[in-house]
Amino acid sequence: MRRRWIGYVVAWLLAAAVAVAVGVLAVTSVGASVRDRGPLGNQAQRTEGVEGTATPRPGAERVRRTVEDEFGSFVVECRGAVAYGLSTTTAPGWRTVSYEPGPDDDVDAVFARRGDSIELEVYCDQGRPTISDLERKTLPDRD
C-alpha cells in the first residue's frame, strides 16, 4: 500500500512539473509575439531600429497633415512608415510642453493650459498621418 501512495505522489509531482513547464512556455511564446508591436490593431509596418533613428525608404511619398484641436495645431509628415513632427502652433492660453520631431514610427506632442493637458500621438498608417492616441488630462484643484 505504501509503495502505491509513493507512486501516486511521484506521478502527481511529475504531472504538475510538466503542466507548469507547458504554461511557462505558452506564456513566453505569446508574450514574445505581442512584444514591440505598438498600438494593437496598427497595420502599418514598423521601421526596425532604435527609437529616433528610423529612416524612410528612398523615394517614399511625403504626406503632411495638420492636426487641429482646442490646443492649436501639430504638423506631422509621413515618409512611408516614418513619422516626423514638424511644428506646433498653440491657441491663446495654451503652450507646447514638448513635441517629438522624429524620425520615428510615431511622434507625439504635449500641450498644456493651466491645469489641463492634452497629449497627442500620431503614427503613419499606410503612409498617412493618423492619430493613434489623444489623452486629455486635468490636474485636481489645489486648496
pLDDT tens, the chain, 143 aa long: 788 888 888 899 999 998 988 888 777 766 554 444 444 433 333 333 445 567 878 888 899 999 999 999 999 999 988 999 999 999 999 999 999 988 998 999 999 998 889 999 999 998 899 998 889 988 776 55
In a domain, 113, yes or no: yes
| Cα separation, 98 vs 94, whole angstroms | 12
In 13-52, which positions are buried (b, 16+ CB within 10 angstroms) versus exposed (e)? eeeeeeeeeeeeeeeeeeeeeeeeeeeeebebebbeeeee
Please tell me the predicted confidence (pLDDT) of residue 47.
Answer: 35
Q: How many structural domains compose the chain?
A: 2
Residues 4 and 67 in one domain: no
The owner of cell 511521484 is 10
Own/partner pairs, 55-59, CB within 8 angstroms, 24+ separation: 55/82, 55/103, 56/80, 56/81, 56/82, 56/103
Residues 114 and 77 in one domain: yes
Residues 69 and 31 in one domain: no
Q: Which domain holds residue 128?
A: 62-138
In a domain, 78, yes or no: yes
Please tell me the predicted confidence (pLDDT) of residue 92.
Answer: 94
Residues 67 and 108 in one domain: yes
Strand locations in the chain (E): 62-69, 72-79, 82-90, 95-99, 106-113, 116-125, 128-138
Please tell me the predicted confidence (pLDDT) of residue 52.
Answer: 52
Please tell me the predicted confidence (pLDDT) of residue 22.
Answer: 84
Please tell me the predicted confidence (pLDDT) of residue 142.
Answer: 56
In a domain, 49, yes or no: no
| Cα separation, 118 vs 121, whole angstroms | 10
Residues 21 and 76 in one domain: no
In a domain, 114, yes or no: yes
